Amino acid sequence: MSTEQIHDDVLKAPNLVFTSGASANYTGDLSNLNGLPAIQIALAASVANVYSQHLLGTTVIDIHSNEINANSTTYFQASLFGKPYSIGSVVSLYGYYADTIERATEGWRISKRLLVFQGPGFVGNLSLVGM
């Protein structure tokens, strides 16, 4: 599965990425998301006024000895471009996802996600993200 497909699945079909009872903390207004509907609605709203590109980098996965749980860390760089596109209308974000993953009959799914910002946090035209 490509990273583009994973990004699209998070927004359009989160059941392919998250467990039904998943929780996610993307910080700020996206801090306490519990369950697939909350995750899908909040993430879709967060990128409604921007085009986004997420570069997923190094991923480390630690599968526990029970082989039904795992922890993973995935580093990312996200760029949010204003709609309509104009020069200077971009915000860059840097950080990593700390995920707890569970094995189910349909495959591995994220049961808990924590986004951790690194470096300067938000860089660029902060009006794109309401700051």
Tell me, what DSSP letter sits at residue 92? E
Residue 89 identity: S
b vs e for 39-48, b when ≥16 Cβ sit within 10 Å of the residue's Cβ? bbebbeebbe
For residue 89, the Cα-to-chain-centroid distance in whole angstroms is 21
**Opening angle at CA 46, ends 90 and 12, nearest 5:** 115
| pTM listed for this prediction | 0.84
> Which runs of consecutive H residues, i.e. helices, occur in 16-124?
36-46
Predicted pLDDT of residue 111: 97
| Mean of the per-residue pLDDT values of the chain | 86
Q: pLDDT digits over 87-106, tens only?
A: 668 889 999 999 999 998 88
